[in-house]
Amino acid sequence: MTKGRESKPHIGIYGRRNTGKSSLVNCITGQDIAIVADQPGVTTDPVKKSFEITGYGPVILIDTAGTDDSGNIGAMRVDRTLKTIDLIDLAILVITDNLWGQPEDELVKKFNKSNIPFIVIYNKSDIAAAETAFKETVAQKTGTLPVEFSTTDKRNYETLISLINEKIPEKSFKTPALVGSLIKPGYTVMLITPTDIEAPAGRLILPQVQTIRDILDNNAVSIVLKEIQVEAFLKKTGIIPALVITDSQVFKTVDALIPAGVPLTSFSILLARLKGDFDSYLKGVHKILQLKDGDRVLILESCSHHIACDDIGREKMPIWISAFTGKKIEFDIVAGLDPFPHPITAYSLAIQCGACMITRKQLLNRISEIIKAGVPVSNYGMVIAFVQGIFNRAVAPLI
């Protein structure tokens, strides 16, 4: 499954083979984006498609392989399908032919375990109507009656769209502010953005772009500088910013440049508050003081990118932590939403990036597994500030 790269709400389409999941995706979007055929098993891997729900906003639809697939390859397809449940905000379970059994029971069990709201669609009702007794059985198992639907004549289409809007968590449609609660109209915010080797040529990295937009949306003033320009700018203009936000990798340099009374934080820490478990991150960072020789630390990147020689997560972070602790520590790096190389209990600490490329739901699903296992978890920016001796200043604007 391609990693989640959108902050839009994700809706997963699930069910057995040949229940019309791909046809449903095409019907909802009004486009022939999913391959449809009479034989079962046409969809082999999860497929994502953006869709705008009029009056509500954009969502991502995920078409999945049938959960009743068989054989070695089929089992791999089912496994990929089930993994998408960690990515979604809402599920649509597609059934047909008055058929309900173990595959449906298992899906409902997983939806409930992950606190995923879901809608049951009885598809192909133009061919075989849902029997009254069957609908009552579904209602008993799920707490809701199935919606009779047909991708051929689009019966109950508006009902389905209304249910999507009703069932999807309200917070999934909202775009929380990165800095909106920290600034007022007219405030000047200084963004310090070193040229990042991981950013595509000629572009800023996503957290920087998101922050600039949020500042403008809140009618404040954004000043963007490289770290080597800060000292001369402050002397020449006399401007005292209301807030300074820096890339974490130049935290120590910026801390020395910005007057002590000016609030200072980082893009990564802002994202930690926006998307992550901020309180757990604050507590988890202190585990660094307890690391011992042979301890294993898990570093979590939520995107995949070309690995550079001075990559912040893969290269700089291990060096900084090792130097701070003076211990021989083992580091594992996991990109995207890939599985951990060892059982989570093998780790003494997990460090999560800002997660700009995935949704809050996806991130919380990811780190909740770690927290439930009793493993401390923290954030890139917090860890960097901690080992460089400026943790209290870096988190003060947000607590």
Distances 325 to 261, 288, 322 between C-alpha atoms, Å? 29, 7, 5
> What whole-number distance in Å separates Cα of residue 368 and Cα of residue 366?
6
Structure tokens at 339: 């599985």
> What whole-number distance in Å separates Cα of residue 95 and Cα of residue 137?
13
The answer to whether 197 and 236 are in contact (CB under 8 A) is no
Using DSSP, state whether 207 is helix, strand or coil.
helix
| Strand ranges, E, within the chain | 10-15, 47-53, 57-63, 90-95, 118-122, 147-148, 188-192, 221-225, 243-246, 264-266, 296-300, 330-334, 349-352, 377-379
DSSP state of 75: H
Query: What's residue 31's pLDDT?
Result: 60
- What is the distance of C-alpha 156 from the center of its chain? 32
Query: Count of alpha carbons within 13 Å of 13, Cβ hemisphere only?
Result: 32
Residue 111 — φ and ψ, nearest 5°? Answer: -60, -45
> What whole-number distance in Å separates Cα of residue 165 and Cα of residue 53?
8
pLDDT tens readout for residues 167-184: 887 655 555 678 888 889
Query: What's residue 115's pLDDT?
Result: 85
The letter for the amino acid at 293 is D
For residue 275, give the nearest of 218, 194, 193, 358 by alpha carbon: 358
> What's the CATH code, domain 10-173?
3.40.50.300
> What whole-number distance in Å separates Cα of residue 312 and Cα of residue 319?
10
Query: Of the CATH numbers 3.40.50.11420, 1.20.1080.10, 3.30.300.160, 1.10.640.10, which one belongs to the domain with range 188-269?
Result: 3.40.50.11420
Query: What's residue 55's pLDDT?
Result: 59
For residue 272, give the nearest of 312, 308, 314, 302 by alpha carbon: 302
CATH 3.40.50.11410 domain range(s) in the chain: 277-398
> What whole-number distance in Å separates Cα of residue 279 and Cα of residue 230?
31
> What whole-number distance in Å separates Cα of residue 96 and Cα of residue 148?
9
The answer to whether 204 and 222 are in contact (CB under 8 A) is no
> What whole-number distance in Å separates Cα of residue 264 and Cα of residue 254?
9
Using DSSP, state whether 230 is helix, strand or coil.
helix
The letter for the amino acid at 193 is T
The per-type count for the chain, helices as H runs and strands as E runs, is: 15, 14
As averages over each run of 10 residues, the pLDDT of the chain (399 residues) reads 55 91 85 50 64 72 86 83 86 94 93 90 92 94 92 89 82 65 92 67 73 90 93 94 92 92 93 89 96 95 53 84 95 84 94 80 83 94 93 93
Query: What's residue 171's pLDDT?
Result: 57
The answer to whether 250 and 338 are in contact (CB under 8 A) is no
Query: What's residue 113's pLDDT?
Result: 87
Using DSSP, state whether 330 is helix, strand or coil.
strand
Rg (CA), the chain: 24
Using DSSP, state whether 54 is helix, strand or coil.
coil
CATH 3.40.50.300 domain range(s) in the chain: 10-173
Query: Count of alpha carbons within 13 Å of 386, Cβ hemisphere only?
Result: 22
The answer to whether 49 and 29 are in contact (CB under 8 A) is yes
CATH class of the structural domain 277-398: alpha beta
Sign of CA dihedral 342, 343, 344, 346: negative
CATH 3.40.50.11420 domain range(s) in the chain: 188-269
